[in-house]
Amino acid sequence: MTDLIKAIISDMDGVLWRGSQALPGMRDFFDFLFKREISFVLATNNSRNTPEDYVEKLASMGVSGIRPCHIVTSGTATAITLQAQYPAGTRVYVVGGHGLKQLLSDAGFQLVDKDAELVVCGIDFDLTYDKLKTATLLIRAGARFIGTNPDSSFPSPEGLVPGAGSILALIESASGCAPTIIGKPERGMFEAALRQAGSKAAETLMIGDRIGTDIIGAQALGIQTALVMTGVETEASLRASETQPDLVFAGLPELVEALRS
């Protein structure tokens, strides 16, 4: 298997951890990648944090050697995409976490609470009615509506909880405007990951826990896919899906064993 795979793109939530709890096999997974010198990128639809935040999180879980260049978030992809379309100083209203706000600010955008040209929405664990109201009014006044990712749910230690897609759906219902999606399953996220991994699609393996984003998006670019059953999908949802991953594993220990063999 490793003869055909030169690089790995891996999701994080539901693959490496749930909330602050590392999933079984996470350290062995990274030990394997570093020992075999396999190029890898961690690509998450979660826009709440910056790449540096994820480096710190992994270090707190006992994984060293991870650098910001190993990580692509939907916030990263959103900032890069919008930077290519709009000039510095463009006024943006953000519904989202500190990571998304920092990435957009670092990209040269002006973060505002009124008269915005863009409304950018990601996961927001401090969501309020006032934020939703402001976003809705700005979109109705002509601001373009951007969503970092469409994930309706989010794997946590307690179970599946509302994700960014749920917030997008609420704002879309109130504003009458559908968002432009940047993150997985859209091409931009995977193309950014391939560039950072320095690999071709056919020699890359995507590891994910969600068929509708990780698997469908990767397969559209010709990337090999592996689904782990530690996040969103169930045996029933996998059987019912028209899209099937190339490989299915109970979790990281089984995946790493397959890579070793």
SS3 29: helix
Q: At what angle do helices 74-83 and 98-106 cross, to 10 degrees?
A: 30
Is residue 11 annotated as a catalytic residue, yes or no?
yes
| 125 burial type by CB count under 10 A (0-12 exposed, 13-18 middle, 19+ buried) | exposed
Q: Hey, what long-range contacts does 239-242 have (CB within 8 A, 24 or more apart)?
A: 241/211
Q: At what angle do helices 164-175 and 129-140 cross, to 10 degrees?
A: 50
The distance from CA 77 to its chain's CA centroid, rounded to whole angstroms, is: 9
The half-sphere exposure of 116 on its side-chain side, counting CA atoms within 13 A, is: 24
Residue tagged active-site, from 11, 124, 151, 209: 11
The C-alpha atoms of residue 248 and residue 185 are separated, in whole angstroms, by 19
Radius of gyration of the chain (CA): 18
Residue tagged active-site, from 3, 13, 31, 106: 13
List active site positions. 11, 13
